[in-house]
Structure 1
Amino acid sequence: MNRPNSNARDGILTAANKLFYAEGIRAVSLDNIAEKAGVTKKTVYYHFKSKDDLVEAYLASRDQPNLALYRKWFEEADGGLPDKVAAIFYQIATSARHPKWKGCGFLRTAAELANMPGHPAMKVGAAHKKKFELWLEQEFENLGLDGSAALSRQVVLLLDGAFSTILVHRDPDYAETAGEAARALVERAVNSSTPKRSGQMESANP
């Protein structure tokens, strides 16, 4: 009995996720994905018009789950804002110690498609990174921090730098070092913004 089309598509996308992440998009063919998904190559083409279309869908499927995981790490961390930001880095370090960890799928795909800036997957990756940056900026703004946009961008640079450096040196400790740098940046912002917020509160009182 054939599976419904939606199930076949999900199976193809699941196979693509596993293979693209583990081996890279250029190393994996549609034949590999069809075999992994247990379908024919014709079925793959029925659901995805090209490999480029499937690569785009692969990254799109990782977008919200990844963002939700970052938020979970942030919200469940003990301590104040600097500790919560640092916790994201420490969680990445923990993940990077798993033998199946291959880095950030968005950055790895961007590296493979560096000569194809107009590729639809590049747009998905850029949007994902920007969503994380804007979410972090909003968290900073909610606490009244000065320069929230610049601060969130600095943290993102540390985060993506950690992802890349771990892959170069195969050392997850770099994520923890980057996390301490992010903690210091956020602590400085909190300390410099607190007097201003206190002054605003005092001036609002009669």
Structure 2
Amino acid sequence: MQHLTPASVKVLETASRLFYEQGIRAVGVEAIAEEAGVTKKTLYDRFGSKEGLIVAYLRARDGLWRSTLVKHVNGHDGPPEQKLLATFGALREWMRERNPRGCAFVNASVELPEDHPGREVAREQKAWLLAYLEDLAAEARAEDPEALAGQLLILHEGACIADSMQSVDRAVDRAEQMAAVLIERSLTE
């Protein structure tokens, strides 16, 4: 995305908050423009359409999650398998600070039609996370890095959903405990 003007930043920040808190379909461009203190023309001039704004929102959120995750993981100096477990620490922090309503990408996928470009952003985000976990699993010398990465992604996603729905106490902690068992098994096989 090109450099954003101050008005564009305000629109994107406002849209991001409203889309996440209220849902993409529930929030119209009029409400975003009004709350951001800009005209609808400004919104359309910068983002082209609500569809373009949704894509910008998801890309910005993806970038923030990636940087949070990588920074958290890179802050762990222990053995490589500890980096895999550190992904759950990053998830715990993210859930506490930015994700009380669950995964924005899953939420968007539920709300958007199959052909919406925002769904492609969501798919790209999950593909990136899977590849990142696979790289970490390979670095830890897992027997089957691809299989372990898939298992850990499922634990991440399940913990995120269980936490946001408050269906399981300490969902991320429990997912991390299960991940530790899976990691240990994959390193000893």
Counterparts of 1:5 and 1:191, CA distance in 2: 50
Alignment correspondent of 1:179: 176
Counterpart of 2:135 in structure 1 is 138
Supply the AA of the counterpart residue of 2:183.
V
Shift, 1:85, TM fit: 2.5
Give the direction of change, closer, same or farther, for the CA distance of 1:167–1:148 in structure 2 (3 Å limit). same
Structure 1 residues 126 and 99: alpha-carbon distance in aligned structure 2, compared to 1, 3 A threshold: closer
Correspondent of 1:149 among 134, 146, 156: 146
Question: Could you say which structure has the greater relative contact order, defined with CA pairs below 8 angstroms and 6 or more residues apart?
Answer: 1
Distance in 1 of aligned mates of 2:187 and 2:7: 50
Query: Please, which moves more after superposition, 45-54 or 90-99?
Result: 90-99
Kindly indicate whether the alpha-carbon contact (under 8 Å) linking 2:33 and 2:40 is maintained by their aligned counterparts in 1: yes
Secondary structure at the counterpart of residue 118 of structure 2: helix
Corresponding letter in the other structure for 1:74: V
CA offsets 1:133-177 (integer angstroms, 9 cap, x no match): 101111222233221111111100110111111122265601111
Counterpart Cα distance in 1 of 2:128 and 2:24: 23
Q: Percent identity?
A: 32
Match of 2:162, SS state, is helix
Larger Rg: 1
TM-align CA RMSD: 2.3
| Post-superposition offset of 1:119 | 0.8
Number of residue-to-residue matches in the alignment: 187
Displacement of 1:112 after TM fit? 1.5
Higher mean displacement: 79-88 or 16-25: 79-88
Q: Structure 2 counterpart of 1:160, which letter?
A: E
Residue 106 of structure 1 aligns with which residue?
105
Report the CA distance between 1:98 and its aligned residue. 5.2
User: Scaled by the length of structure 2, what TM-score is found?
Assistant: 0.88
TM-score normalised by the chain length of structure 1 = 0.81
What are the within-5 Å matches in structure 2 for residues 67-78 of structure 1? 67-77=66-76
Task: Report the CA distance shift for 1:90/1:139 in structure 2 as closer, same or farther (over 3 A).
Answer: closer
Q: 1:1-206 maps to which residues of 2 (within 5 A)?
A: 6-77=5-76, 79-97=78-96, 101-113=100-112, 116-169=113-166, 173-192=170-189
Q: 1:18 to 1:72 in 2, by over 3 A?
A: same
Task: Quote how far apart the aligned CAs of 1:58 are.
Answer: 0.5
Change (3 A) 1:21 1:176: same
Q: Which moved more, 1:90-99 or 1:160-169?
A: 90-99
Residue 77 of structure 1 aligns to a residue in which SS? coil
Unaligned runs of 5+ in 1: 193-206
